[in-house]
Amino acid sequence: MPPARIKSSPRIKDSTTVIMVTSYGREEFMFQARDAGIEGYLVKPVSRSVLFDTIMDAFGQEITCGGGCPDNPTLLPENLI
pLDDT in tens, the chain (81 residues): 666 777 777 777 677 888 989 888 888 888 888 888 888 999 999 999 899 989 998 888 776 655 555 454 444 445 444
Quote the pLDDT of residue 31: 87
**Distance from C-alpha of 20 to C-alpha of 8, rounded to nearest angstrom:** 15
Range of 62's domain?
3-79
**Distance from C-alpha of 35 to C-alpha of 74, rounded to nearest angstrom:** 32
Question: What proportion of the chain, given as a percentage, has pLDDT over 70?
Answer: 70
**Distance from C-alpha of 21 to C-alpha of 75, rounded to nearest angstrom:** 20
Quote the pLDDT of residue 80: 47
Domains: count for the chain: 1
* pTM of the shown model: 0.63
Cα 80 to Cα 35, 71, 77, distances in angstroms: 28, 16, 5
Quote the pLDDT of residue 81: 43
Q: What is the DSSP letter of 21?
A: E
Quote the pLDDT of residue 42: 92
pLDDT digits (tens, 9 = 90+) for 66-80: 555 545 444 444 544
